Amino acid sequence: MNQQQSQYVIVGGSAAGMAAAHAIREKDPRGKITVLSAEPDAPYFRPLIPFLVAGKKTPAEMAMTGCGPYTGKNIVIQTRARVASVDTTACCVVMEDGTRHGYKKILFATGSRPYVPPDIEGTDAEGVFALRTLVDAREMAARRERTTHAVMLGGGLLNLKAAFALLEKGVRVTLVVYSPEVLSQLMEPEDATLIRRALDKAGLSIMTGVAATGIIADASGVTAVALDNGDTLACQMVCIGKGVRPNVEFLAGSDVAVDGGIVADRYTGASLPDTYTAGDVAVTYEPVTGAPIMTALWTNAVEMGRCAGLNMAGVKTVYTGTFGILNATQVADEPFVSMGVVHTTGKDCEIYQKATSSTFRKLVFDANGTRLIGAVLVGDITNAGLYRYVIREKMDVARFKRPLIDHTLHYGHFMR
C-alpha cells in the first residue's frame, strides 16, 4: 500500500494544530506540513459558532485561512481525515480507510469532545445538541426554525452564548443548572451577582439546583425535558453543555503516555522523541500551583500550539503553563475576566473584594499576601492584562499591592 510522507504531521485542525502549523512555517519555509482534520470543514474559529446559530456569520466568515497570521501558505490541510491509530515504531499514522501517512515529527492536537452524561436518558433524540462544531451549529440553526422553547443543560460559557444566539432569534430559552449559580467553573456564586442580574434582564430563564433526568421525544424529535424535582419542561430543542473529554482513543496500543490526556513536558513534548502535543488534549501544568492540568480554552490552545510548532521547527521554547481558569469575554453585555485561583472557599488565602452597582472586583493573594494568584473582574475589566502578568510571573507584589487593590495599577509600578 502506498504511504504518504510529510516532515511534519499535525493531527487536529483547530486552534492548537493551526497555530503550530503556522509557527513551523515561519521557521521552516520548505518542510512539508500536513494537517489531518477529522472535520468536514476547513479550519475555522470555533468560538464563533454561536454566531452561526444566531445567523450573524456564515461559515466562510469564520474560516481561519486568510485571517491574521493564518495565511495557510504551503500547508496541506486534509479534511475528513480521521486518524484511527498510530504506529510509533514505523513513525506513521493509520487513517480510518487504512491508508498510512508517515512523519518525521508529529503533533497530536486532537482536542476534545462534549461530555454527554450517561445518566440522562434520551440524549440521542433529534433536536439534542452539544454545540462544538460547525456541523452542530448548522443543525442547531436548522432546528431553530421550528423551535419555540429551548432548554440548555449546564451553565457554562458556551451554553450561555448559545442561549443568547437563540434568544436573539426569538426563541424562549431556559437554562437548567445543577450548581447554585451560572458560570460555576469560573467564579463562586456570590461573584456572579451582576452577571446573573444581566441574564435575568435579558430574558433568560434560569433554574438552579436542578438536573435533567431524561429527554422525552416523539417522531418529530425532542418534546420535553424531565427534571429531578419532578417538573417537565416542554421544548423542541436541548443543548447539553456539561464539559468535554479529550480525544485520545486513537492512541490505544501506542507508546504515547496518556494520563487522562496526552502527557506533555515543558517543551510540549510527548513521551516519545519528535512527538508533541498541544491544546485541549494535552496534560500540561498550571503556572500558579505547578499541578498537572487540562483546559479547553481557545487562547491556551493557540499559545501552546505555537510553542509546539516552534519546538518542532528546532527553536527550543518553554511553554509557560496553562491557567486553569483564564476567560475574558462578556455575556448579556456584561464584560468579565476570571483568571487563576478564583474558588477560595476553604482555602488559605487573602481576599480583597469590592462591589458597586455596576462593578465587582475580587483579588486573591496567597496566604502570606505577597503574591497575586487569582482575580475576578466584572463590569470594569481595565488592565486585566496587567493582572494576568502579575499572576503568571509570580511577582512579589509588596511594592504595588495597594495600587493592585485600588485598581490603579499601571506599567510604571513594574519599574524599579
What pairing do the DSSP bridges indicate for beta strands 83-87 and 275-277? unpaired
In the predicted model, is pLDDT for residue 309 greater than 60?
Answer: yes
- If one counts the domains in the chain, the total is 3
CA 79 to chain centre: 21
Tell me the residue range of the domain where 44 lies. 3-113+245-312
DSSP run (H or E) holding 3: strand 3-11
Contact, 221 vs 215, CB < 8 A? Answer: no
Residues of the chain with pLDDT > 90: what percent?
71
Across the chain, mean pLDDT equals: 92
The verdict on pTM exceeding 0.85 is yes
Q: Give, as one character, the DSSP assignment of residue 359.
A: -
What's the rounded Cα separation, in Å, for the pair 164 and 390? 33
DSSP run (H or E) holding 112: strand 112-114
Q: Is residue 351 part of a domain?
A: yes
Q: What are the φ/ψ torsions at residue 139 (nearest 5 degrees)?
A: -65, -35
What CATH number should be reported for the domain holding residue 36? 3.50.50.60
Across the beta sheet with 232-234, the strand order is 212-218, 221-227, 232-234
Contact, 101 vs 87, CB < 8 A? Answer: no
Q: Is residue 119 part of a domain?
A: no
What's the rounded Cα separation, in Å, for the pair 387 and 342? 13
Neighbours of 342 (CB within 10 A): 20
- What are the tens digits of pLDDT across the range 393-407? 888 998 899 989 988
Same-domain status, 102 and 250: yes
Q: Is residue 280 part of a domain?
A: yes
**pLDDT at residue 416 in the model:** 63
In the predicted model, is pLDDT for residue 75 greater than 90?
Answer: yes
Same-domain status, 137 and 237: yes
Q: How confident is the model at residue 169 (pLDDT cuts 50, 70, 90)?
A: very high
- Which residue type, as a one-letter code, is found at position 160? L
Q: What are the φ/ψ torsions at residue 209 (nearest 5 degrees)?
A: 75, 15
Contact, 114 vs 240, CB < 8 A? Answer: yes
Q: What distance, in Å, lies between the first and last C-alpha atoms of the chain? A: 65
- What are the tens digits of pLDDT across the range 201-233? 889 999 999 999 999 999 999 999 999 999 999
Q: Is residue 336 part of a domain?
A: no
